[in-house]
Amino acid sequence: MPHISRERIIGLPRTEMAGIDAGGTKTHMRFLDPVTGEIRHVQARSADYDSLEHLFYGCFDMAGCLPRSLVAGVAGRPGRDGDVRITNHPQWPTFRRRAFATDLEMSLVTINDMVATTAGVADLDESDWVALTPDVAPHPGPALLAVSVGTGVGSASVDREGQAHPAESGHIAWQPVTVLEEEYLRSLQRLRPGIPISVELSIGGLRGIDHMYDFMTTRKKPGPYIQEHVDRFRREHRGIGPVITAAAVGGDACCREIMRLFGAILGQFLRSNVLMCMSEGGSVWLTSGVLQAPGVCDLLISDTAFLERFIATGAEHAELMQEIPLFAVTDRQVAVRGAFALTRQAAEQEPAVLH
């Protein structure tokens, strides 16, 4: 675990602004080079650190500069004072925003990482996304829902006035539709008796994909070498998602079944989110992690019940779902791009906003 002293950090040259996307697995920092003024980027492995404070130190050290203004999107739920913990690193101490900012003489705002993602979506151009439902007309106005399935599962929405709203939607429960889904849910209930089984626990990258793999391999044997790769990833404390998605895209029958289960639960999850926060229409953007693995979104559309569950013909408001365009974001840095854009916007509009 790298040890970077406060003295080293405060001795770094200053840059005017930066954005950070701090996730459970990876953390990205986008910043202005203090010498050339160019936009640059560094990446850290979150698990290499023991706190959000030290993770930020690591980003500053790799960047070789200390920002005066920073917006940090964090995979957690910031309180009113900006203090926050990364959800999937519960052993880390709570990050104290004001004390950190005061100590380093910087303007610092902490936001939910999915709010940063919505800002990043607004900053994309047509080369940064793919339409998953090209026959559905784009929706006018800023209303959108951004959804991520990475280490965890999360979303945030933007309303018709352009105001972003964070959510902890990955922790809501889901409803099985098929016998297979009911059996899967029961297997999770045996693991976690007495608590609601969340979407994140069921399909998220930290635990959900492991749960789906262990459940499905009792019914269908994976192809040669897949179990070997899964065992190696688990020994190395790495998420097995890349193994499963690559094998599914490659045609492995067991991993295809896993992705069919994944797609059905994800489609239902998106539908529930749209009904809760975008009932007047908008667009849905799939971002990060599992959803950006090569071939996954194509597989969701062509070989799973993803769209069927999203629209849910025969259920209430299926006509609304048919009018919602779906997009897959291909820019893997959309969240840090959004955090940087928010820092820049605040600096341009009113520097005193960041405190």
DSSP track, 100-146: HHHHHT-EEEEEEHHHHHHHHHHT--GGGEEESSTTSPPPSSS-EEE
**29-57: string of b/e by CB count within 10 Å (b at 16+)?**
bbbbebeeeeebebebebeebebbbbbbb
Are residues 4 and 58 in contact, defined by beta-carbon separation less than 8 angstroms?
yes
Contact predicate 152/199, CB 8 Å: no
Q: pLDDT, tens digit, for every residue of 220-233? A: 999 989 999 999 99
pLDDT of residue 1: 65
β partners of residue 110: 72
Per domain, the residue ranges of the chain are: 6-118+334-353, 125-329
Residues of the chain with pLDDT below 50 are 351-355
Fold of 125-329: Hexokinase; domain 1 (3.40.367)
- CA–CA separation, 306 vs 157, rounded Å? 20
Instruction: Provide the sign of the torsion angle of the four alpha carbons 106, 111, 114, 116, taken in this order.
Output: negative
CB atoms within 10 A of CB 246: 17
Provide the pLDDT for residue 355. 42
Q: What is the pLDDT of residue 347?
A: 82
Residue with tokens 């569950």: 309
Q: Which CATH architecture has domain 6-118+334-353?
A: 2-Layer Sandwich (3.30)
Question: How many residues are present in the chain?
Answer: 355
Sign of the Cα pseudo-torsion (316, 320, 325, 327, in order): negative
State residue 3's pLDDT score.
79
Residue reference for tokens 């600096």: 347
What the block records as the tokens of 326 is 């779906």
What pLDDT score does 151 carry?
Answer: 87
User: What are the two backbone dihedrals, phi and then psi, of residue 42, each rounded to the nearest 5 degrees?
Assistant: -130, 160
**What is the pairing mode between strands 283-289 and 107-112?**
unpaired
Q: Is the pTM of this model over 0.85?
A: yes
**Phi, psi angle pair for 240, to nearest 5°:** -90, 0
Residues with Cβ within 8 Å of 233's Cβ and at least 6 positions away in sequence, in order, are 239, 240, 242, 243
Q: What is the predicted pLDDT for the residue at 354? A: 43
